[in-house]
Amino acid sequence: MLRHLISKIKATGPISVSEYMREALTNPVTVCDVTFLQFPQRDSRLLTVVVLSQGYYVRNNMLGAEGDFITSPEISQVFGELLAVWVISEWMGAGRPKQLQLVELGPGEGSLASDVLRVLGQLQSVLGGASVSLHLVEVSPALSRLQAQSLTGTRSQEADSEDDPVYRQGRTDGGLQVSWYRCLEDVPRGFSIFLAHEFFDALPIHKFQRTKRGWREVMVDIDPDNQGQLRFVVAPSPTLASTTLVQVDETRDHVEVCAEGGVIIQQLASRVAEEGGAALIGDYGHDGTKTDTFRGFKGHQLHQVLTTPGSADLTADVDFSYLRRVVGGGVACLGPVSQRTFLKNMGIDTRMQVLLRNCSDLTTRQQLISSYDMLTNPTKMGERFHFFGLLHLSRFAKPKTATGLKLEQKSPAQLPVAGFTDMSFS
Ligand code: SAH
């Protein structure tokens, strides 16, 4: 991957951080580097084709103790169970539509989806015969195979044609249809509840630096002192991104903008506005206050972002203020609230007490307590991770008060939005 990037920069000049991240994480093809070896004494050249690795997400299973990082759904099943309750609560709040598409962006090993489906299965009486289907947006063929294994066992198969927007399809043992897509546009329209956990932080960011001559984009170039390495440089003149993506009233000196995340949140917002439903985004992030958050992870350790690209996870905190700004007014935005607040509002304490009451095995009890601590402790994941929601505006419409009737009809009160204490309208 490093050689591929160096050849690319040699050919076309420094690349944006966004392009660097996209190549290193999600380059879909096995990159072929073609070189000619010269044999002057024989006046001949030998063509060599070196096959280089694909992007990090495309070929890796990076999750878990053996991988590079661990996520909340992998830490405890309770996380997915509480998100399932959120899904049901929003489905009820929307008037219990007959069809429910559950859509997950970036499902990793499929643990969150599997925990959510288990709870939906247990609460079938609440769902009252609504038809549920699962739709997974996953860029990595390797991870899609793992997800299929955990969700459908052997009951899934790849599409015959590469052009098929549904590249894999299967059924859970409960008979629920599961479909895999490369991008959100391919997911069918219809009432949907979207979940995206640690998805937005994996999308490419642009980086910008305030200079005496105005905002300039940070680029990735070849290090002149070591031609086999990369380094950051500041573009000498404005780029299209630096002139369009930085806010005019920006007060920070360094900003990161995830334009791809902006496009995806707009797509989610327009689907929620047009088809009904909701989106719940859980990720580490900030509300437009942080500056340089771009970092790498390898083997659960911080890793230099420009070293051995393609072998480490690259990530940046999600700027929720940016997501809220680009969403516009068609839907209501909720949060961000901290993971601790969200999970406590969702009833994690009660759920943990029930699990502990029913568990006598000392090791399992200790695991339950430490996973609870990991998810909610403010110094661990409790305050670093946040939840952000998009809801259809009708969810907050004031109940109509009937006038001119002797007996005033009582309108049903709106259900409060589970998990969120803090609510704002964009
Ligand atoms: N949600 C999971 C995994 C997070 S890792 C969890 O919390 O455990 C990020 C996931 O997003 C991986 O499944 C990765 O392959 C996927 N991903 C990254 N970039 C993507 C993109 N551009 N489109 C679709 N999926 C992507």
Considering only 7-16, 339-348, 410-419, which range has the smallest mean pLDDT?
410-419
What is the rounded average pLDDT for all residues in the chain?
A: 90
Q: Is any ligand 1 atom within 6 A of the Cβ of residue 317? A: no
In which residue are the tokens 């009833």 written? Answer: 347
pLDDT at 33: 47
Instruction: Tell me which of 417 and 409 has the higher pLDDT.
Output: 417
pLDDT at 62: 72
266-286 pLDDT per residue, tens: 999 999 999 999 999 999 999
CA quadruple 73, 78, 80, 82: dihedral positive or negative?
Answer: negative
Instruction: Tell me which of 311 and 331 has the higher pLDDT.
Output: 331
Q: H/E/C letters for each residue in 375-412?
A: HHCHHHHHCCEEEEEEEEHHHHCCCCCCCCCCCCCCCC
pLDDT at 66 over 80: no
Instruction: Tell me which of 46 and 326 has the higher pLDDT.
Output: 326
Considering only 39-43, 258-262, 308-312, 346-350, which range has the smallest mean pLDDT?
39-43
Q: How far is the CA of 400 from the centre of ligand 1 (A)?
A: 42
232-250 pLDDT per residue, tens: 999 999 999 999 999 999 9
Q: Which atom of ligand 1 is nearest to the CA of 313?
A: 5
The predicted model gives 20-27 an average pLDDT of 92
Between CA 129 and CA 119 the distance in angstroms is 15
pLDDT at 424: 44
pLDDT at 264: 98
Q: Is any ligand 1 atom within 6 A of the Cβ of residue 107? A: yes
73 within 8 A of 115, measured Cβ to Cβ: yes
The predicted model gives 7-19 an average pLDDT of 95
From 82, 112, 138, mutation site for ligand 1 pocket: most ligand atoms within 8 A of C-beta: 138
Q: How far is the CA of 202 from the centre of ligand 1 (A)?
A: 7
pLDDT at 64: 67
3-class DSSP state of 204: coil
pLDDT at 293 over 50: yes
**Rounded percentage of the chain residues whose pLDDT exceeds 90:** 78
pLDDT at 35 over 60: no
pLDDT at 422: 46
CA quadruple 181, 184, 190, 196: dihedral positive or negative?
Answer: positive
369-399 pLDDT per residue, tens: 999 999 999 999 999 999 999 999 998 876 6
pLDDT at 425: 43
pLDDT at 299: 87
